């Protein structure tokens, strides 16, 4: 009876007020329960953001709403919860004290100063664009240090990531073999087909923002979970799970038709070979890498497959798309030569087209996360951004190679560091770094890289204590 009543109410509200309003009213009690739980245990918000980041853009194809602002709201509520909690018990804010927190605060400070950039045309564009560029990482990274900072949280993170990536590939297979649903078709008809239907073949985008993000994210998943599988020794079920997720990631990357995504496993694999500190494995990897290059660049094997054929164009220096990108970068280089602070955050890409469609930057495609940072924030912003990313990457590599003693923890940080390297490489060819879900995955990755030495120290102390107790027991 309750289900029938709820169904009847939903039908009436949908008919009279529309589907979004009907859903909102029906779900209101659940939302209130969730918000209450969030205020009592703000850690719930972290898990919600990780899950929500996979679906936030895809939801807009079904329900027209500014879904991204929900992330802003969740972050605000988590800080509000901590503020009120501080009246009841002491919050150990010192947990958030880290080189990473300092670096992202400097980055946020530079982004905030961009509002005064004399070249900036739209302050509204700045507000929308700076969230993905700087605000989210500035807000979420301290929260991760405070609320999501234990080895079990890393396990939860990997499980969520793996399961949702599997769902992403399954959704992609549905689009490939059964076709898109009516809402996705409407999105394609509204302009999405220009970049997602090439020579009559659909580039699979799953429930992600686009095929580029889907391909890079799945390649990222393949790298991280493939490496994790190599480090699992005894838990066969966990090893099998990691292998399945990695293979699904590779398949998802291929059916996306995203050429730039191949940079993720390429650079991620190279990083893994370096971190192994084994010259024989490094040489073997180099031979395999050369083999992959020869396969794509100098053969026509499997050219009948549309996905392979499109990936092969990534190795063609005369590819028309590459030449257009290089031409755009030359134009940007001339324009930005006298603008070291860039044209202002939000000047390029979708935000530029939306708020300042008449400007040069809005009408010059960046086709790259790093090129977009350069155009928006100038050479100063680009160098600062690269310094931060390479600082984190080198920290992860150093931890994995020299600091971490626990084999499984070292394996997890190795996998995350290699994934970071892969996404950094892919971000030159595509604007993947600051988009959902990759951006959120990167922020969590960075925090775990910096937390790992603390965990390892505790693990070593525990092992030493156990050995000491065992020795005393033996002597007794």
The Cα 322–Cα 44 span in angstroms is 43
Distances (CA, A) of 156 to 142, 159, 422: 19, 5, 22
Asked if the structure places residue 415 within a domain, the reply is yes
Distances (CA, A) of 136 to 131, 143, 192, 342: 6, 11, 27, 21
pLDDT in tens, the chain (476 residues): 444 444 444 444 444 555 555 566 767 788 889 888 988 899 999 999 999 999 988 888 888 777 778 899 999 999 999 998 888 888 888 899 999 999 999 999 999 999 999 998 888 999 999 999 999 999 999 999 999 999 999 999 999 999 999 999 999 999 999 999 999 999 998 888 888 887 778 889 999 988 889 999 999 999 999 999 999 988 999 999 999 999 999 999 999 988 888 899 999 999 999 998 777 777 777 777 787 777 776 677 777 776 677 667 666 667 667 788 888 899 999 999 999 999 999 999 889 999 999 999 999 988 889 999 999 999 999 999 999 999 999 999 999 999 999 999 999 999 999 999 999 999 988 888 888 999 999 999 999 999 999 999 998 888 777 777 766 666 55
Residue range of the domain that includes 411: 41-459
Asked if the structure places residue 4 within a domain, the reply is no
Asked if the structure places residue 268 within a domain, the reply is yes
Asked if the structure places residue 25 within a domain, the reply is no
Distances (CA, A) of 205 to 31, 223, 302: 29, 19, 23
- Please give, one letter per residue, the 3-state secondary structure of the chain: CHHHHHHHHHHHHHHHHCHHHHHHHHHHHHHHHHHHHHHHCCHHHHHHHHHHHHHCCHHHHCCCCCCHHHHHHHHHHHHHHHHHHHHHCCCCHHHHCCHHHHHHHHHHHHHHHHHHCCCCCCHHHHHHHHHHHHHHHHHHHHHHHHHCCCHHHHHHHHHHHHHHHHHHHHHHHHHHHCCCCHHHHHHHHHHHHHHHEECCEECCCCCCCCHHHHHHHHHHHHHHHHHHHHHCCCCHHHHHHHHHHHHHHHHHHHHHCCHHHHHHHHHHHHHHHHHHCCHHHHHHHHHHHHHHHHHHHHCCCCCCCHHHHHHHHHHCCCCHHHHHHHHHHHHHHHHHCCCCCCCCCCCCHHHHHHHCCCCCHHHCCCCCHHHHHHHHHHHHHHHHHHHHHHHHHHHHHHHHHHHCCCHHHHHHHHHHHHHHHHHHHHHHHCCCCCCCCHHHHHHHHHHHHHHHHHHHHHHHHHHHHHHHHHHHHHHC
CA atoms within a 13 Å half-sphere pointing along the CA-CB vector of 151: 14
**CA 443 distance to own-chain centroid:** 8
Place of tokens 């969740």: 74
Q: How many CB atoms lie within 10 A of CB 12?
A: 11
**What does pTM read for this prediction?**
0.90
Asked if the structure places residue 476 within a domain, the reply is no
Count of domains in the chain? 1
Place of tokens 């076709």: 179
Q: What is the CA radius of gyration of the chain?
A: 24
Token readout for 183 is 């809402």
The Cα 458–Cα 476 span in angstroms is 27
Asked if the structure places residue 36 within a domain, the reply is no
CA atoms within a 13 Å half-sphere pointing along the CA-CB vector of 97: 5
CA atoms within a 13 Å half-sphere pointing along the CA-CB vector of 58: 20
Phi-psi region of 277 (alpha: psi -120 to 50; beta: other; left: phi over 0): left
Per the DSSP assignment, residues forming a β-bridge with 198 are 201
Give the per-residue pLDDT at 163: 97
Asked if the structure places residue 474 within a domain, the reply is no
Task: Answer whether the bond into residue 437 is a cis peptide, omega within 30°.
Answer: yes
Asked if the structure places residue 408 within a domain, the reply is yes
Per the DSSP assignment, residues forming a β-bridge with 197 are 202
The Cα 182–Cα 174 span in angstroms is 13
């Amino acid at each position: 009876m309750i289900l029938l009543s709820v169904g009847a109410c939903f039908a009436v509200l949908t008919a009279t007020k529309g589907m979004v309003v009907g859903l909102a009213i029906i779900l209101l009690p659940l939302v209130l329960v969730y918000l209450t739980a969030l205020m009592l245990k703000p850690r719930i918000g972290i898990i919600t953001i990780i899950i929500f980041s996979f679906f936030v853009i895809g939801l807009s194809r079904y329900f027209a709403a500014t879904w991204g602002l929900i992330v802003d709201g969740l972050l605000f509520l988590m800080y509000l919860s901590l503020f009120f909690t501080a009246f009841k018990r002491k919050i150990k804010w010192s947990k958030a004290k880290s080189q990473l927190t300092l670096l992202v605060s400097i980055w946020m400070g530079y982004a905030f100063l961009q509002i005064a950039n004399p070249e900036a045309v739209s302050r509204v564009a700045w507000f929308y664009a700076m969230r993905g560029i700087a605000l989210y990482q500035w807000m979420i990274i301290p929260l991760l240090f405070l609320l999501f900072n234990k080895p079990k949280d890393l396990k939860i993170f990997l499980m969520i990531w793996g399961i949702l990536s599997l769902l992403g590939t399954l959704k992609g297979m549905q689009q490939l073999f059964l076709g898109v649903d009516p809402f996705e078709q409407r999105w394609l008809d509204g302009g999405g087909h220009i970049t997602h239907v090439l020579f009559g073949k659909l580039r699979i985008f799953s429930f992600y923002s686009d095929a580029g993000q889907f391909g890079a994210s799945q390649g990222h998943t393949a790298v991280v979970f493939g490496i994790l599988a190599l480090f699992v020794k005894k838990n066969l079920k966990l090893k099998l799970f990691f292998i399945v997720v990695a293979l699904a990631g590779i398949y998802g990357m291929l059916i996306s038709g995203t050429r730039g995504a191949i940079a993720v496993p390429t650079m991620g694999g190279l990083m893994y070979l370096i971190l192994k500190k084994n010259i024989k494995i490094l040489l073997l990897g180099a031979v395999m890498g050369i083999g992959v290059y020869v396969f794509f660049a100098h053969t026509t094997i499997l050219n009948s497959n549309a996905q392979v054929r499109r990936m092969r164009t990534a190795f063609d220096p005369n590819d028309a798309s590459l030449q257009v990108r290089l031409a755009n970068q030359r134009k940007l280089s001339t324009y930005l030569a006298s603008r070291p602070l860039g044209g202002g955050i939000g000047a390029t890409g979708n935000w530029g087209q939306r708020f300042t469609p008449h400007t040069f930057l809005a009408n010059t495609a960046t086709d790259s996360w790093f090129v977009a940072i350069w155009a928006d924030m100038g050479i100063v912003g680009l160098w600062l951004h690269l310094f931060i990313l390479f600082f984190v990457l080198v920290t992860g590599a150093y931890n994995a190679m020299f600091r971490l003693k626990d084999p499984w923890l070292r394996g997890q940080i190795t996998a995350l560091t290699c994934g970071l390297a892969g996404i950094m490489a892919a971000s030159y060819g595509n604007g993947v770094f600051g988009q959902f879900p990759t951006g959120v995955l990167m922020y969590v990755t960075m925090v775990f890289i910096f937390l790992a030495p603390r965990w390892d120290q505790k693990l070593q102390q525990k092992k030493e204590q156990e050995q000491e107790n065992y020795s005393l027991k033996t002597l007794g």
